[in-house]
Structure 1
């Protein structure tokens, strides 16, 4: 389980996160919502080690990882699909997927069949360059690359951004399949409310670096959450 407690994060004198607490459990989707610039991506980058927290602690599977570097966290099963996808445009689809081999033991350096079951288009385009794919196909490739690492924590940062509706549905179905496996904790950062709400088990709303709503979706009122997002 991921357990973030009292996280502070500063960029110089500016405080991006203020005493933020977040938990994510295997078999559940934790959705982090909020307007642009409220700290969502900063929180995700802190979890995977790309930003250094200035207070609090990040615990994964019972061990503090706050002082670990990103590659050490990746080896412990953390993976992120970053906002903007960040695929390698000149590498083929197959080569992009193989970049996920880096944190794996040699025996595990192969592309799991599950990825092509989730996103069949990738199998048919293995020899095409990543930059030649549509935005939606690139997003599927970015998720596939993260899954190559065999993550136990999967962070998805704005996966529907700029994506056509048909592929948004495919991504939603893939998230449901991964949740149903029961061995992956999923953190979904999303501004598309209907998509996030439909998938969420747990919900957090950030505003100006602070959690203004947090808890199981079943305990929250949908209209109240929407109000916080529109303020």
Structure 2
């Protein structure tokens, strides 16, 4: 996935200013920065949730800048938004099955692998999504995205507001998906140690711009931390 010179506005307000970023297959690209610097806006540009004013978004060599969100989903882009957005009145099984919408009919099944990654969900298939804890809802949201069989997985602060044990579980799943090399992962994260451990490439945003970007081993950890600390 390649973002080139993207600008994004909400009315007269500028959210992104000429942002460029790459997310490579088989890697985790971490997007860091303080609150309100444009991280979620960049994810909205990538997924098609909000149109860009200028610039291009390319996926697997094709320009998808003007494609709507559902068309990008059909091309293998899955988004786990901040706040999870599960359906509270649907059961866990029904929430997972909403991921079928972008799949050919023959592929519409929840694979056993989903429950290997998130075993707690197998015991809760008939419970309503709204009855789950925050950490369980986060696992459900991530599992639903994986049901779509994505090649680009976009995660917006998956550790927000959940207990440390679930954070470890989510980190384990992301590391496993990275190791398989079958998808690119774009991760927005406030928890610095979590992001720094998982990511191969890092980008730091300030005021709608990317101010630091590169391979993790080439960056000054202290400088990155200074830029993202409150």
Q: Tell whether the structures are fold-level matches, with TM greater than 0.5.
A: yes
> Equivalent residues in 2 for 1:1-231 (5 A)?
2-230=1-229
Cα drift, residue 114 of structure 1: 1.4
Distance 1:229 1:210 in 2: 13
CA distance in 2, matches of 1:115, 1:31: 24
Structure 1 residue 89 displacement after superposition: 0.6
How far is the alpha carbon of 1:164 from its aligned partner?
0.1
**RMSD between superposed Cα atoms in Å:** 0.7
CA distance in 2, matches of 1:41, 1:20: 13
Unaligned runs of at least 5 residues, structure 1: none
Q: TM-score, normalised by structure 1?
A: 0.98
Rounded to whole Å, the distance in 1 between the matches of 2:113 and 2:32 is: 28
Pairs aligned (count):
230
Unaligned runs of 5+ in 2: none
CA–CA separation in structure 1 for the residues paired with 2:111 and 2:82: 24
The secondary structure found in structure 2 opposite 1:102 is helix
Q: Distance in 2 between matches of 1:163 and 1:28?
A: 24
Q: Work out the CA distance in 2 between the residues paired with 1:110 and 1:25.
A: 28
Shift of 1:221: 1.2
CA drift at 1:13: 1.4
Task: Please give the secondary structure, in 2, of the residue aligned with 1:38.
Answer: coil
Report the TM-score when normalising by structure 2: 0.99
Cα distance in 1 for residues equivalent to 2:175 and 2:89: 31
